[in-house]
Amino acid sequence: MVENGVEQPLLQGGGPPNNAGHAKPPPGARPPRRFRRCRTAPSTDAAQESPPRSQQEPSLQRGTTQLAPPKELLRGARPSFRLVGVLLLAYLLAGTVAFYLAMDHMSGDRTGSRVVDALYFSVVTMTTVGYGDLVPSSDAAKLLACAFAFAGVALVGTFLSKAADYLVEKQEALLFRALHARNRKALRVVEANKVRYKLYTAAALLAAALASGTAFMVEVEGMRPVDAFYCVCATVTTLGYGDQSFSSVAGRAFATAWITTSTVVVALFFLYAAELGAERRQRALARWVLRRRTTCTDLEAADMDGDHRVGAADFVLYKLKELGKISQEEIAEFLEEFDELDADNSGTLSPHDLIVAQPG
């Protein structure tokens, strides 16, 4: 093959020559940079946790890449999700204890269970529903409610993000595991429509939350179906008018779990709806970039190394810049890193370059 203007013999197996086979460039001159295709970029975790080369499978030694199972991909998100779950439980526990002790400074409709009322008020405050059926009446209770209101809003926002990531990615992992061995084309379709499937899942969960809440309020709270549905909708959207609410011990015990879950589901539904709209706009931009006619000005802008020729990698980078996927500053940083690793200034990287540039 020809490289840097000098014909180089190919090694056995068709690979490029090693570092010793490169032609030495003139002193102080750098040959034109050539972009080469790579099979994949291994993850940082996989590189850190991989066994020594002698212990790897023969297929890995030959350079092939094995996909990490979905369980490994989800491992990084779990600790943060567990932490948010612990914070949520700590908030509810602290709120229940605090409002249990301050229940004598609360006015409104109480049930026969002081603990249930305290937990119910904590959940209603955290989710910003605020029915108004149970409210603080003293200055100390009002200041306590203010503190828990701000803490609850921050916690719910964090919980929404982590719960959404964990639950949706868990569902996708199960689906991918089922499809991967059977139909790769279907797998690509699922990946391309991932946001849409998230929206469908959130819509199904929202319908289940509305149905279960309405049925419970009809059966347990004795409301008319219209009043029950009205109360459910006012709750999940965190309006909390207060003319209809949970009043029994069983109802408030159910509300502590149902209100938290349903408000999270509603937030996810509108989040994915907005994300789907943004994705459609991005796809429309991509279609415009792909279909528009390429001009000489485009070729000049895509000429990364100034040799008046545009290779495939140059062209792809230019299109990615048009789509806003990568910026010129990011490309410059990558090229600076390449220059630092290219110890012999040959315009290519070899294992010897990495050993010299990154000793130890």
- Specify the pTM: 0.56
Domain ranges (residues) in the chain: 81-290, 294-357
Whether 14 and 345 have beta carbons less than 8 Å apart is answered as no
Contacts made by residues 64-73, CB under 8 angstroms, sequence distance 24+: 64/39, 65/39, 65/40, 67/180, 68/43, 69/177, 70/169, 70/172, 70/173, 70/174, 70/176, 70/177, 71/173, 72/45, 73/169, 73/173
Q: What is the pLDDT of residue 214?
A: 95
Q: What is the pLDDT of residue 50?
A: 42
> Token pair 């400074």 is at which residue?
105
Q: What is the pLDDT of residue 176?
A: 59
Q: Is 145 left (phi over 0), alpha (psi -120 to 50) or beta?
A: alpha
> pLDDT of 143-162, one tens digit each?
999 999 999 888 877 776 67
> pLDDT of 271-313, one tens digit each?
888 888 887 887 787 777 778 888 888 888 888 777 778 888 8
Which positions of the chain have pLDDT values less than 50? Answer: 1-23, 34-79, 181
Q: How many CB atoms lie within 10 A of CB 316?
A: 13
Q: What is the pLDDT of residue 166?
A: 61
Per DSSP, 15 falls in state P
Q: How many CB atoms lie within 10 A of CB 277?
A: 11
Give the integer Cα–Cα distance in Å for 258 and 242.
Answer: 17
Q: What is the pLDDT of residue 168?
A: 61
State the alpha helices, DSSP H only, in 35-75.
44-49, 58-61, 70-75
Give the integer Cα–Cα distance in Å for 217 and 312.
Answer: 63
Give the integer Cα–Cα distance in Å for 96 and 263.
Answer: 20
Q: What is the pLDDT of residue 190?
A: 58
Q: 81-290: which CATH number, 1.10.287.70, 3.40.50.150, 1.10.10.10, 3.30.2090.10? A: 1.10.287.70
